[in-house]
Structure 1
Amino acid sequence: MQYKDYYKTLGVSRTASQEEIKRAYRKLARKYHPDVSKEPNAEARFKEINEANEVLKDPEKRATYDALGSGWRAGDDFRPPPGGWGDFDFKTGGASGDYSDFFSSIFGRAFRPEGRGAGRQRGQDQTITLAIDLEDSHQGATRQIKVDLPATGSNGQSSARSRTLNVRIPAGVTQGRQIRLAGQGLPGRNGGPAGDLYLEIAFKPHRLFTPDGRDIQLRLPVAPWEAALGATVQVPTLGGSVNLKIPPGSQSGRKLRLKGRGLPGTPPGDEIVQLEIVIPPAETEAARDLYRRMAEQLPFDPRAQLGV
């Protein structure tokens, strides 16, 4: 089997802090989550990222992984040494099919350090990405989601535990925020309480709006005469269409603000409207004649500021 460099997978150094590992994982998970990513290899990369995070976020597993040494390179032929790893006492059992053979050879069986298995232990917290629509954040929503978490049966065999949960999405939740579901993480050991499940919010791509914190951004096409003379036009918002006044003499790229038309909160976000002047096509002789007359009658040189 091939050695996997989990530090390289997350793009962090071997001396990275737990906070640095957490930030790197969140950034990559948002980029490659299959529900939101446009990358061709998103699903495979997302599994690699989750596997690396599963090891490096846990100090106990990270220490076991680090004990392999730093002389390995990703892709090197790897054979686990006989007799287990360090001082860990392994029970029988297999690994979840979601993990690689490399992971399974080290962590695929439930383990506990000598002398520490008798007490009650709280289950691990788990974090998964929840992709939602902007409208869910604007209005608040209840969504039904299916989650698969690793579990160990009474015979020690590892498997995936599938559950369906009803999740309330609060109005105004922003990208990167987490929703905590108490007791929905991994089960505890020896009668200990279950961990928590954290749902990290990611927004699905929207056909009109781009989120920026609580603000949302919109590129608004306008005609040349609307920009030159000024106009009042209808603009879409998450709460419905509203009128927007375009000041005379507006240029492409000018940004106008609709106060309070972003995501709700205290204070609510705004909608930032960026004007984009669209030139009518000159597909008829009448249209071309109009452009010729404009060129003759309007003393305008768009390159004058270049000094050429």
Structure 2
Amino acid sequence: MKYKDYYQTLNVERNASQEDVKRSYRKLARKYHPDVSKLPDAEDQFKELGEAYDVLGDPEKRAAYDRMGSEWRNGEDFEPPPNWDEGFEFRGAGNDAGGQPDFHDIFERMFGGAHGAHTRQRPANARGEDHHAKVLIDLEDSYRGAQRSISLQVPVMDAQGHVSLETRTLNVTIPKGIRAGQHLRLSGQGGAGTTPGTAGDLYLEVAFREHPRFQVDGRDVSLELPVAPWEAALGAQIAVPTPDGSVEMTVPAGSAGGRRLRLKGKGVPASPPGDLYVILNIVLPPADSDSAKAAYGAMQQAFNFDPRAHFYR
């Protein structure tokens, strides 16, 4: 997607107050309104202004926009940083799965069209809005369950109309078997209601941190296991690491590189549990000594083997 510099569109500085943003938008909107302006691109300019103000005019959307990155230039190819929304607490509907949207779609989907919701007058005893946030956990926490302290950043606006992020910390129970994409509900931790007992709920969408060893696909987990050529050829008993400790696995004789071996029920301990897939990676010992070179020479003599026998057919 192309980066759109909404501050440039509205002709305001990045530290502008919300009132400054509103004032500049109104001024430019009058200038480019299609019913008033004679400029050939007035309608397009007016639409760009509306899109920019939809984001920067809402403190929450503005904070999310700033969080995505401020070092990009207008029109440059842009990808949001990985997990840019981790720990960012927002109002309204959750972020559903889908393709790569543009900025406008990101905010519409993240905040559920919540623009201006904070200005509406609520009836007495109205329930507070539900809040949402994405949190990253370790894969091991899903295998064992855990108690974790998490920090969330909430957009707030000060008396001068400047937007900043305020941090709050919560203690959360991670249930055993939770999968990526599932939600944890924290009752009463959302937006404030008109009375203490009517606060909204906080929904935490769970995702796994990138793991140096394991890959996760729903309930199933996989890893690449290095094996020596003789272990693959002759078979072996090998200790295989899992997120919940190591287990013994039989490598069948005659295994080829890339073979997938399944450890049933050793994936995420959901209901039902997933499986753990072990992909064999045959690692050749280095020929870095005279004895090692002699061993490779003996192997060459012992085998009538052409690795490209069928390659050129």
TM band (smaller chain): 0.5 to 0.7
Q: CA deviation at 1:292?
A: 1.5
Quick one: structure 1 residues 52 and 228, their matched pair in 2 at CA, closer, same or farther if it must change by over 3 Å?
closer
Aligned match of 2:192 in 187, 194, 202? 187
Deviates more, 1:230-239 or 1:181-190: 181-190
> Which residue is 2:83 aligned to?
32
Judge conservation of contact 2:257–2:281 (CA < 8 Å) in 1. yes
Deviates more, 1:156-165 or 1:252-261: 156-165
> Which residue is 2:201 aligned to?
196
Q: CA deviation at 1:175?
A: 1.0
| Map 1:119-134 → 2, pairs under 5 A | 120-134=125-139
> Which residue is 1:83 aligned to?
none
Quick one: structure 1 residues 153 and 190, their matched pair in 2 at CA, closer, same or farther if it must change by over 3 Å?
farther
Indicate whether 1:290 and 2:295 are aligned: yes
Judge conservation of contact 1:234–1:243 (CA < 8 Å) in 2. yes
Instruction: Tell me, in whole angstroms, the C-alpha distance in 2 between the residues paired with 1:162 and 1:243.
Output: 45
Q: CA deviation at 1:238?
A: 2.1
Quick one: structure 1 residues 192 and 161, their matched pair in 2 at CA, closer, same or farther if it must change by over 3 Å?
farther
Quick one: structure 1 residues 189 and 276, their matched pair in 2 at CA, closer, same or farther if it must change by over 3 Å?
same
> Which residue is 2:153 aligned to?
148
Gaps of 5+ in 1: 10-24, 37-47, 62-106
Aligned match of 2:142 in 120, 137, 140? 137
Q: CA deviation at 1:277?
A: 0.1
> Which residue is 2:308 aligned to?
303
Judge conservation of contact 2:9–2:49 (CA < 8 Å) in 1. no
Instruction: Tell me, in whole angstroms, the C-alpha distance in 2 between the residues paired with 1:7 and 1:229.
Output: 69
Instruction: Tell me, in whole angstroms, the C-alpha distance in 2 between the residues paired with 1:6 and 1:251.
Output: 60
Judge conservation of contact 2:86–2:134 (CA < 8 Å) in 1. no
Instruction: Tell me, in whole angstroms, the C-alpha distance in 2 between the residues paired with 1:167 and 1:215.
Output: 24
TM-score normalized with structure 1 length: 0.63
Instruction: Tell me, in whole angstroms, the C-alpha distance in 2 between the residues paired with 1:6 and 1:29.
Output: 22
Give the secondary structure class of the aligned counterpart of 1:225. helix
> Which residue is 1:249 aligned to?
254
| % identical equivalent positions | 43
Residue by residue over 1:113-166, the C-alpha shift from the partner in whole angstroms, topping out at 9 and shown as x without a partner, is xxx655554322221111111111100011122333346899999876643322
Quick one: structure 1 residues 156 and 194, their matched pair in 2 at CA, closer, same or farther if it must change by over 3 Å?
farther
Which residue identity lines up with residue 111 of structure 1 in the other structure?
Answer: T
Quick one: structure 1 residues 158 and 191, their matched pair in 2 at CA, closer, same or farther if it must change by over 3 Å?
farther
Give the secondary structure class of the aligned counterpart of 1:2. helix
Judge conservation of contact 2:135–2:205 (CA < 8 Å) in 1. yes
Which residue identity lines up with residue 58 of structure 1 in the other structure?
Answer: G
Quick one: structure 1 residues 49 and 198, their matched pair in 2 at CA, closer, same or farther if it must change by over 3 Å?
farther
Judge conservation of contact 1:257–1:272 (CA < 8 Å) in 2. yes
Which residue identity lines up with residue 53 of structure 1 in the other structure?
Answer: F
Indicate whether 1:53 and 2:107 are aligned: yes
Gaps of 5+ in 2: 1-6, 11-47, 53-67, 69-78, 88-101
Aligned match of 2:265 in 255, 260, 264? 260
Quick one: structure 1 residues 122 and 144, their matched pair in 2 at CA, closer, same or farther if it must change by over 3 Å?
same
Deviates more, 1:243-252 or 1:157-166: 157-166
Q: CA deviation at 1:207?
A: 2.4
> Which residue is 1:276 aligned to?
281
Judge conservation of contact 2:51–2:104 (CA < 8 Å) in 1. no
Instruction: Tell me, in whole angstroms, the C-alpha distance in 1 between the residues paired with 2:304 and 2:275.
Output: 38
Which residue identity lines up with residue 176 of structure 1 in the other structure?
Answer: G
Give the secondary structure class of the aligned counterpart of 2:9. coil
Give the secondary structure class of the aligned counterpart of 1:202. strand
> Which residue is 1:68 aligned to?
none
Which residue identity lines up with residue 8 of structure 2 in the other structure?
Answer: Q
CA RMSD of aligned residues (A): 3.9
Instruction: Tell me, in whole angstroms, the C-alpha distance in 1 between the residues paired with 2:306 and 2:51.
Output: 53
> Which residue is 2:119 aligned to?
111
Instruction: Tell me, in whole angstroms, the C-alpha distance in 1 between the residues paired with 2:49 and 2:279.
Output: 42
> Which residue is 1:17 aligned to?
none
